[in-house]
Amino acid sequence: MSKTYRVAIVGATGAVGLKFIECIERRKFPVSEVVLYASEKSEGKVLHVNGKPCRIVGLRKERVEKFDFAFFSAGSGISTQYAPLFAEKGGVVVDNSSAWRMDPGTPLVVPEVNPQDIAKHKGIIANPNCSTIQMVVALKPLHDAAGITRVVVSTYQAVSGAGGRALEEFENEVHALVVNTTPPKRAIFPRQIAFNAIAQIPQKDAFLPNGYTGEEHKMIEETKKIMGDPSIRVSPTCVRVPVKNSHSESINVETLKKLTAAEAIALLRKAPGIVVSETPGDFPTPAEVSGRDETFVGRVREDWTVPNGLHLWVVADNILKGAALNAIQIAEVIIRS
């Protein structure tokens, strides 16, 4: 009989928490039991996992138990406080918040890029930022072949990345503007998001002294850690756009060794987790990619302004590959090892 695993989901009622459940069901993750944790206001609500009702448990210290895996998506404050408690019980925590990403003793993992780092964990493994995940999946085969020296990336990030309340605010704004009524008061975004673009993520955080946002800083530092190369220079501009789901990125790459567009496409075609469009007009869009597990790459072309440059267009479902799926894949690597 195949081994099964006792699993906790912390933050089970949120968008990523619900996607954890979906991934467990769809990928037939070998669970013996799933315990769902959320805030105490959600205690007693019932969700279904593999067709079985699971009652929400309010998260308190005395309710932390031993699990084989604990998937966290409840914010950095909860992760800082509770992830060590679950790890001390003997389980492996895969945390989707920013709490542990840059901790030197915590692996930051994308399974297609640095699965070898999983073995270094001391009970906690960090899931990278959603924008970083899809970018490094596309960069990895190019870096291995030609050595990436510099990346300039502009992101087009979906509203779902800001949570369920942000989606509701977006939809209410769209409705109000379409029917020509007064838009509701904003609670999430600093400016209009409907039919607009906001070059500030996180939405209400102050800019850093160097002019970059917190999201952009994450992409810079996480890329170097995941790729295992602190010499890679990354310059991002992160933008929230009026798209419901799936992030897009325009990525300009400079390499030590020249790669033609055809060579880059061949490398991407063979890389795990990537679907590459090989003709200019056959590029991925967020609407088409939403609900898909893979990272999609299109519009691969050479940058004529530098000797060793490439342009890529990269799209992925930010709630799936950018969050829940990546965490589940980390656990699957552990199971297989």
Check 23, 54, 121, 130 and give the catalytic one.
130
CB 91 within 8 A of CB 71: no
**Joined tokens for residue 295:** 């990272």
Judged against a pLDDT cut of 80, whether residue 231 lies above it is answered with yes
Split at pLDDT 50, 70, 90, the class of 196 is very high
- What is the rounded average pLDDT of the residues 287-305? 97
**Joined tokens for residue 323:** 């969050």
pTM: 0.96
The chain-wide mean pLDDT, for the chain, equals: 96
**pLDDT one-digit tens code per residue, 302-321:** 999 999 999 999 999 999 99
Other CB atoms within 10 Å distance of the CB of residue 303: 15
Break the chain into its structural domains and give their ranges: 5-128+323-336, 132-158+198-318, 160-196
Judged against a pLDDT cut of 80, whether residue 323 lies above it is answered with yes
Q: Running DSSP on this structure, what letter comes out for residue 212?
A: -
The C-alpha atoms of residue 118 and residue 74 are separated, in whole angstroms, by 22
- What is the rounded average pLDDT of the residues 57-70? 97
Spell out the SS3 assignment of 134-185: HHHHHHHHHHHHHCEEEEEEEEEECHHHHCHHHHHHHHHHHHHHHCCCCCCC
pLDDT at 219: 97
Split at pLDDT 50, 70, 90, the class of 288 is very high
pLDDT at 270: 97
- What is the rounded average pLDDT of the residues 125-151? 98
pLDDT at 279: 86
23 an active-site residue? no
Judged against a pLDDT cut of 90, whether residue 204 lies above it is answered with no
What superfamily in CATH does domain 5-128+323-336 come from?
A: NAD(P)-binding Rossmann-like Domain (3.40.50.720)
The C-alpha atoms of residue 72 and residue 324 are separated, in whole angstroms, by 9
pLDDT at 218: 96
The C-alpha atoms of residue 89 and residue 217 are separated, in whole angstroms, by 33
CA 273-276-282 angle, to 5 degrees, is 145
- What is the rounded average pLDDT of the residues 139-167? 97
130 an active-site residue? yes
CATH code reported for the domain at 132-158+198-318: 3.30.360.10
Judged against a pLDDT cut of 70, whether residue 58 lies above it is answered with yes
Split at pLDDT 50, 70, 90, the class of 203 is confident
